[in-house]
């Protein structure tokens, strides 16, 4: 039995109890849930623009590691702080979803972008039990609210595929985050369409006749976006050319078929075998600069989401150095936003993570001497000393991710895997799946001959998993004081909306029957947040 209410709104702020019951051949079931409808406190200076940075999986270890490597530390004091460290306010965010204390990126980012809890793999919906991922009841996203009520521009920049969970959650609705083709269809809808949309994921836009396409039809979505007024860039060089030719009103960039390569593999030790045909990818800083140039053209303001996606994508296979370098890259993009907003009093900057991860920093690791067990080269307490990373060109990134003394990364959860504790020139998965048993086994190509680390995850898991601890949130600009406390992830949405001055109108939208047609809601252009 499926019942969907469309255009349903509540008359005023408060607590509402929703009771549902069903009788079927499988039996009877009932449940009550409470909805808290929030009237945002919109007092104080209002923001016109919001720049929202999301470090995927960016727990405290990633932030601390980035500060050590990028800024340096002398006799126990940091030589300088990260850009995010110097934002005006700092708090913490809890990240659990409705179905589990352990969240995924879709579920947690959806909470940031809707103010509603959801379930693992779901975004922009109350998750239902239908096999159709589009059947779950939808809730309005940040993009939809701001486009409908303020005619603001929406920007999305990511180092992941543009259809991945975090970027998609800004505008999309689905019970299953892997529905990349449907997510792209939603991105072409006027009420959801981003004005800037950059990252990887070209495979979902190409017609099936083109190499690398994952489509099963002849649609060319790059051309469809162009028909809607988008300028297009497929490489770093093309992006620079597009911006040099005159700032476009809308901008689409897809720079790889899948995810962008991580910073180490793009910029520090580029490997043609790793990069393949995509040797000319822009970085997060370049994409953020371009996005700001496009979005600032709208005098009604903008919402820009910038994701450092491969912090998480490096932590899953237990690769600390790659995660930390990508954290530095995200922080430098924060610096670009701060520079852009300097001298203005109308822009809220927020930096946070969607969930924590298993990575920790236990001390230092000295590259093993021949015949010496790698484990014995892990220094803790006084034996740790300090790492020997160097940044000779002053770009904020150590020149060599594999110095004689480097960070010793530990992991709270992992499969059985070999580990020599040193940086891997090429990323290697810690474990692989045996198709016959559907269980994981240590990857023999990763650190062969090194110490086998006995895992603690279920036997089918090949990578480490997200953890449940709170994450940090940083903010500056109008309304930033709202973030200086412990927030549930749904409350972040409301804090952003309050900073923008969005609030429930004084007149009621409810008819006597308790609901109102979608057309009537849209016609009233109501700044409804709930």
Residues 172 and 212 in one domain: yes
Residues 380 and 426 in one domain: yes
Specify the pLDDT at position 269. Answer: 97
Q: Are 364 and 408 in contact (CB under 8 A)?
A: yes
In a domain, 201, yes or no: yes
**Residue 493 CB-half CA count within 13 A:** 31
In a domain, 363, yes or no: no
Q: How far apart are CA 412 and CA 420, in angstroms?
A: 17
81 CB neighbour count, 10 Å cutoff: 12
Distance set, CA 185 to CA 131, 181, 204, 220, 234 (Å): 19, 6, 10, 12, 20
Residues 442 and 346 in one domain: no
Q: Kind and range of the H or E element at 210?
A: none
In a domain, 265, yes or no: yes
**Could you give phi then psi for residue 314, rounded to 5 degrees?**
-90, -35
pLDDT digits (tens, 9 = 90+) for 461-482: 999 999 999 999 999 999 999 9
| Number of domains, the chain | 3
Q: Are 440 and 427 in contact (CB under 8 A)?
A: no
Which residues in the chain show pLDDT less than 70? 1-7, 42, 369, 371, 504-530
Residues 206 and 335 in one domain: yes
H/E/C letters for each residue in 425-459? CCCCCCEEEECCCCEEEECCCCCCCCEEECCCCCC
Specify the pLDDT at position 115. Answer: 96
Residue 395: alpha-carbon gap to chain centroid: 24
Residues 382 and 289 in one domain: no
Residues 247 and 375 in one domain: no
Residues 94 and 218 in one domain: yes
**Residue 195 CB-half CA count within 13 A:** 26
In a domain, 459, yes or no: no
Those residues whose C-beta lies under 8 Å from the C-beta of residue 360, and which sit 6 or more positions away, are 61, 409, 410, 411, 412
Residues 68 and 199 in one domain: yes
In a domain, 460, yes or no: no
Specify the pLDDT at position 42. Answer: 67
Residues 82 and 155 in one domain: yes
Specify the pLDDT at position 504. Answer: 52
Domain encompassing residue 270: 49-358+465-500
Q: Kind and range of the H or E element at 188?
A: none
pTM of the model: 0.93
H/E/C letters for each residue in 339-373? HHHCCCCCEEEEEEECCECCEEEEEEEECCCCCCC
Residues 177 and 296 in one domain: yes
Residues 430 and 396 in one domain: yes
Residues 166 and 294 in one domain: yes
Q: How far apart are CA 444 and CA 209, in angstroms?
A: 37
**Residue 208 CB-half CA count within 13 A:** 5
Q: How far apart are CA 254 and CA 202, in angstroms?
A: 5
Using DSSP, state whether 231 is helix, strand or coil.
Answer: strand
pLDDT digits (tens, 9 = 90+) for 62-103: 999 999 999 999 999 999 999 999 999 999 999 999 999 999
In a domain, 458, yes or no: no
In a domain, 214, yes or no: yes
Specify the pLDDT at position 229. Answer: 98
**CATH number of the structural domain spanning residue 139:** 3.40.720.10
Specify the pLDDT at position 516. Answer: 37
Specify the pLDDT at position 22. Answer: 76
């Amino acid at each position: 039995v499926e019942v969907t209410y469309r255009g349903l709104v509540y008359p005023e702020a408060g607590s509402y109890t929703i009771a549902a019951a069903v009788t079927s051949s499988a039996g009877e079931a009932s449940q009550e849930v409470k909805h808290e409808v929030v009237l945002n406190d919109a007092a104080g200076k209002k923001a016109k623009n919001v720049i929202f940075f999301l470090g995927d999986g960016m727990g405290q270890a990633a932030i601390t590691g980035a500060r050590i490597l990028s800024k340096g530390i002398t006799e126990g004091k940091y030589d300088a702080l990260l850009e995010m460290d110097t934002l005006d306010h700092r708090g913490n965010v809890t990240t659990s979803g409705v179905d589990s204390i352990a969240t995924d990126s879709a579920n947690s980012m959806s909470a940031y972008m809707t103010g509603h809890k959801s379930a693992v793999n779901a975004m922009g919906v109350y998750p239902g039990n239908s096999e159709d991922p589009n059947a779950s009841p939808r809730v309005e996203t940040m993009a939809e609210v701001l486009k409908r009520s303020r005619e603001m521009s929406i920007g999305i920049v990511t180092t992941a595929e543009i259809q991945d969970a975090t970027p998609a959650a800004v505008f999309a609705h689905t019970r299953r985050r892997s529905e990349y083709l449907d997510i792209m269809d939603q991105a072409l809808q006027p009420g959801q369409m981003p004005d800037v949309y950059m990252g990887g994921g070209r495979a979902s836009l190409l017609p099936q006749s083109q190499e690398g396409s994952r489509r099963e039809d002849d649609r060319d979505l790059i051309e469809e976006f162009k028909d809607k007024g988008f300028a297009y860039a497929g490489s770093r060089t093309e992006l620079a050319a597009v911006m040099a030719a005159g700032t476009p009103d809308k901008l689409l960039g897809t720079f790889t078929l899948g995810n962008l390569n991580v910073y180490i593999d793009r910029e520090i030790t580029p490997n043609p075998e790793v990069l393949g045909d995509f040797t000319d990818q822009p970085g997060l800083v370049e994409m953020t600069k371009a996005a700001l140039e496009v979005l600032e053209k709208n005098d009604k303001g903008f919402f820009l989401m910038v994701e450092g996606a491969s912090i998480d994508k490096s932590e899953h296979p237990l690769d600390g150095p790659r995660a930390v370098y990508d954290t530095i890259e995200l922080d430098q993009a924060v610096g670009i936003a701060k520079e852009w907003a300097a001298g203005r009093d109308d822009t809220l900057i927020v930096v946070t993570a969607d969930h924590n991860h298993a990575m920790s920093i236990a001390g230092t690791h000295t590259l093993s001497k021949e015949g010496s067990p790698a484990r014995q080269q892990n220094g803790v307490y006084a034996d740790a000393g300090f790492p020997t990373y160097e940044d000779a060109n002053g770009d904020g990134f150590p020149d060599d991710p594999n110095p004689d003394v480097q960070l010793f990364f530990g992991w709270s959860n992992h499969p059985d895997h070999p580990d020599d504790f040193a940086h891997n020139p090429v990323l290697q998965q810690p474990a692989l799946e045996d198709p016959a048993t559907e269980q994981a086994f240590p990857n023999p190509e990763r650190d062969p001959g090194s110490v086998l680390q006995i895992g603690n995850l279920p036997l089918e898991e090949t990578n480490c998993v997200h953890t449940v601890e709170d994450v940090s949130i940083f903010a500056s600009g109008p309304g930033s004081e709202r973030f200086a406390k412990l927030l549930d992830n749904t409350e972040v949405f409301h804090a952003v909306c309050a900073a923008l001055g969005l609030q429930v109108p004084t007149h009621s939208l409810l008819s006597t029957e308790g609901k109102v047609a979608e057309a009537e809601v849209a016609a009233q252009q109501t700044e409804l947040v709930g």
